[in-house]
Amino acid sequence: MSVPTSSPVVALSNVSKSFANGTLAVRDVTLALQPGSFTSLLGPSGCGKSTLLRLMAGLSEPTTGSVTRPQTVGTTSFVFQEPTLMPWASALDNVTLPLDLAGAPKAEAAAKGRELLARVGLKGFEGSYPRELSGGMKMRVSIARALVTQPQVLLLDEPFAALDEITRFKLNNDFLELWKEQRFTAIFVTHSVFESVYMSERVLVLAACPGRLAADLAIQTEHERGEQFRTSADYARLCRQTSEALEKAMKT
């Protein structure tokens, strides 16, 4: 008997995207993402990762093929590579922005914003301005802002790429904890084999020029995601396997 799967939160069917200047950024991509899953998009610079993410978010239309996002799917949030905070507003006001724009009562929005800032480790920094925060702290504010609407789908475009390794590892762990708690569907763009394997249940490897799906890898391990996984034999094996798939993709 086959195990029933729930309907995907986003499905791409034979999607291609070309730009006005003639660049074919993405060619014939078909994929479906299950609710609550954690998927990484891994590939070299220019292979169409950001283009695919924008297509999934509905920020851009495919040239051919179709993108389906069921009506029943709740909010979609986007975390950009740069934290893109409003410099003149406090951390709290930055986080509550999506709620303020939606017309939520001020007190309710502030309470929710405070709760999320605490959740990302920024209790006590509610009144700080972006210029007073480190790069890692700004990224935490940006993640809190993305989560304030309780999205069902969260798309992240290389969110930790600009951070030092120690901060990145810490944010990887904190973000995984949030995902385990809230079980939003995460789509995570990264250049890093190690990060993709550490974070996700599934890695989609992309080949470049034009961007295509080269491999669809299940990251299966008995380890709970976290530091004990990072030092396991499973992690080393899965990184090697993913690295080989990426190398192969880069030759095609």
Ligand X SMILES: Nc1ncnc2c1ncn2[C@@H]1O[C@H](COP(=O)(O)OP(=O)(O)OP(=O)(O)O)[C@@H](O)[C@H]1O
- Binding-site ranges for Mg ion (CB under 5 A): 50
| Out of 2, 5, 6, 21, the residue judged to bind ligand X by CB under 6 A | 21
Q: What stretches of the chain adopt beta strand conformation (E)?
A: 10-18, 24-33, 38-42, 64-68, 76-79, 153-157, 185-190, 202-207, 212-218
CB 193 within 8 A of CB 177: no
Report what 23 binds from Mg ion, ligand X, none; CB cut-off 5-8 Å by kind: ligand X
Spatial contact of 68 and 86, defined as CB atoms under 8 Å apart: no
112 near ligand X, rule: CB under 6 A: no
Residue 59 found at the interface with ligand X (CB under 6 A) = no
Q: C-beta of 81: minimal distance to Mg ion in Å? A: 7
Burial (Cβ within 10 Å: 0-12, 13-18, ≥19) of residue 252: exposed
Among 27, 29, 42, 48, binds ligand X (CB under 6 A): 48
Q: Quick one: which H or E segment has residue 86?
A: none
Binding piece for ligand X, criterion CB under 6 A, among 15-23, 111-119, 127-135, 146-154? 15-23
Does residue 67 interact with ligand X by CB under 6 A? no
* Residue 196 binds ligand X (CB under 6 A): no
Single out the residue of 6, 45, 71, 72 in contact with ligand X (rule: CB under 6 A). Answer: 45
Given ligand X, Mg ion, none, residue 252, with its beta carbon under 5 to 8 Å by kind, binds none
CB of 159 to Mg ion, least distance (A): 12
**What's the gap between Cα 166 and its chain centre?**
19
Q: Distance between CA atoms of 61 and 97, rounded to whole angstroms?
A: 26
